[in-house]
Structure 1
């Protein structure tokens, strides 16, 4: 297929999104995936309960009004080259990654035929969504695991390769609920010149061709250490506290936007900053 002129869209959710009632974030995913014509694939690779997770999201997406919902479960890397899975991706207008363990997603999917097919469809303009672990895998470098509610230390976080839909960033989820600022900063110091996004529960960052819009009831915390004036990474051992000076911090609730290319919020000029 030739590459589409449609915008590249990601809906990256901090976890625990509303599934009853209006379900505004999942509703926005269906809307952008084609509304009543949407053909959605639910990727359950992250969870140890694929049937339960798949059925739960199928119920939500069908209630909202998607035309077709299919579950693709990849328990092994062999599953990621099945003709059934590849056909489902070719016909989809939206692909949604459930929560669970992000390392499970990359271990069975990264650098497979299915991974390549999803990237191709993303380049053609379909919508990619993910929640919790499904959000963590969106960058090229992801947080595999780490401590919550702690100060920044090298050992606080373990990094690994993500799926690379949104390079140049690191994403953490359940952010304010689990006190994860320390581990996000730890990740950023290890991956210099990368933007860090901490997404609260029932909150999403909607990425459209380099612009982020926040939706949901919480906020997205953005940390930019690319122009930091100092850190002590070269002088400490892995269990000793990190110091960082001069990093930028932005906290953006629903309706606020951020320019990934300019690395700054898009603020209404009528608002005093």
Structure 2
């Protein structure tokens, strides 16, 4: 088992920080700009949209306006011109119209980046070749912010990176296209890059998750690529755009019970930190200070594997922090500043009953946020442990959530220092 990190050992330099331990690139000294990492289901959340526009405003509240370049290449291509022109449809062109109008409602100008994975009809302006267009790149570079919409993050790799082919669609030896280079220049100049769902995940560095469910992750392991099986855990070793390199990123996190899948992926790929963002929630990350702030409706999970013991059939001593609106984290120390007073020790009332389908399997009957709900109920109760099992029985995995001496919780729904274990029965 690895030695748990503490604030003292980090300050003394006696352990390596998580961004140094994984296979991804180290944090870039002097990096500029903000990332706004949205876990999906933006739902036109005013707090998040206002923050994107405010961070992209070049002069605060002055006469200049934010200009958001809207990238939607993770979506499916439009089949016809009529579909492309209908904001109610779900395709790359239509999604561009939708998000462009949304940002304009919040006081920003929008540039719709006409890039897609393929051309489907005569006169289609969304074409793969535009990723290499100097005209499009210049339009992006003239923006003060960039927004990546949802879909499939692998489509962003295929459209905005120039990669050598590899077995299993794993992608390797990738370099920026001119348009991605322009996005990078917006960020490096102090602009904002926001993304929702796949638009969050693509901002990861090496070993970006590309698909899979928690149960299959533990049953079968992780595979490089994008198409091994519908529910199998897959990842891209090269990763995404590497704007965020503190740890592995995942979206729809507590919503879809993805804690177990990302612990499996982190262990497989040698990463010590996972950052999972729930729906209608965002982590605002300042690259210069390495500090993050949570905004929105739900929460952000920080899973620390540094002191964990993980084998093929169990994971133990994973530390789980769950941050909610107004909470902050310093990634250089992993210190959490809560928006309310932290409490130690037990609360009142009995602990939660055993939760069936705690990983929120698609095959099960459980609802969403099952593990988050168990954890919140535990820390506020007089109990020291809560349990849950997978819906699947062959084999079945049991989850233990343990209150330990480092566990703290606060009235707004956040907590830190809860221990998570998964054991195959």
Same fold (TM over 0.5): yes
2:295 to 199, 202, 215: 215
Cα separation, 2, equivalents of 1:185 and 1:214: 21
Query: What is the TM-score normalised by the length of structure 1?
Result: 0.87
Please name the residue that 1:245 is paired with: 316
Please name the residue that 1:71 is paired with: 112
Task: Find out whether 1:25 has 2:53 as its counterpart.
Answer: no
Superposition deviation, residue 270 in structure 1: 5.0
Please tell me whether the aligned partners of residues 150 and 179 of structure 1 are also in contact (alpha carbons under 8 angstroms): no
Please tell me whether the aligned partners of residues 15 and 202 of structure 1 are also in contact (alpha carbons under 8 angstroms): yes
Task: Find out whether 1:231 has 2:282 as its counterpart.
Answer: no
Of the structure 1 ranges 198-207 and 79-88, higher mean CA displacement relative to structure 2 is found in 79-88
Please tell me whether the aligned partners of residues 99 and 134 of structure 1 are also in contact (alpha carbons under 8 angstroms): yes
Cα separation, 2, equivalents of 1:258 and 1:178: 23
1:60 to 71, 96, 102: 102
Please tell me whether the aligned partners of residues 18 and 24 of structure 1 are also in contact (alpha carbons under 8 angstroms): no
Superposition deviation, residue 267 in structure 1: 4.1
Please name the residue that 2:74 is paired with: 46
Query: Could you say what secondary structure the match of 2:155 adopts?
Result: helix
Cα separation, 2, equivalents of 1:261 and 1:31: 25
Please tell me whether the aligned partners of residues 14 and 203 of structure 1 are also in contact (alpha carbons under 8 angstroms): yes
Cα separation, 2, equivalents of 1:151 and 1:190: 10
Cα separation, 2, equivalents of 1:12 and 1:202: 10
Superposition deviation, residue 268 in structure 1: 6.8
Please name the residue that 1:257 is paired with: 328
Superposition deviation, residue 258 in structure 1: 1.0
Please tell me whether the aligned partners of residues 145 and 186 of structure 2 are also in contact (alpha carbons under 8 angstroms): no
Superposition deviation, residue 96 in structure 1: 0.3
Task: Find out whether 1:104 has 2:184 as its counterpart.
Answer: no
Please tell me whether the aligned partners of residues 10 and 128 of structure 1 are also in contact (alpha carbons under 8 angstroms): yes
Please name the residue that 1:146 is paired with: 212
Are the structure 2 counterparts of residues 151 and 101 from structure 1 closer, same or farther at C-alpha, using a change threshold of 3 Å?
closer
Are the structure 2 counterparts of residues 115 and 168 from structure 1 closer, same or farther at C-alpha, using a change threshold of 3 Å?
same
Please name the residue that 1:90 is paired with: 141
Are the structure 2 counterparts of residues 204 and 268 from structure 1 closer, same or farther at C-alpha, using a change threshold of 3 Å?
closer
Cα separation, 2, equivalents of 1:268 and 1:43: 33
Please tell me whether the aligned partners of residues 99 and 130 of structure 1 are also in contact (alpha carbons under 8 angstroms): yes
Cα separation, 2, equivalents of 1:266 and 1:170: 21
- State the Cα deviation string for residues 122-150 of structure 1 (Å, max 9, x = none): 11111000000000111103111111566
Cα separation, 2, equivalents of 1:222 and 1:135: 15
Task: Find out whether 1:168 has 2:246 as its counterpart.
Answer: yes
Cα separation, 2, equivalents of 1:258 and 1:157: 28
Query: Could you say what secondary structure the match of 2:139 adopts?
Result: helix
Query: Could you say what secondary structure the match of 1:57 adopts?
Result: helix
- Structure 1's consecutive aligned runs of 4 or more residues displaced over 3 angstroms after TM superposition are 148-153, 267-270
Query: Could you say what secondary structure the match of 1:106 adopts?
Result: helix
Query: Could you say what secondary structure the match of 1:159 adopts?
Result: strand
The answer to which structure has the higher helix fraction is 1
Gaps of 5+ in 1: none
Query: Could you say what secondary structure the match of 2:218 adopts?
Result: coil
Please tell me whether the aligned partners of residues 150 and 182 of structure 1 are also in contact (alpha carbons under 8 angstroms): no
Q: More relative contact order in 1 or in 2 (CA 8 Å, sep 6+)?
A: 1
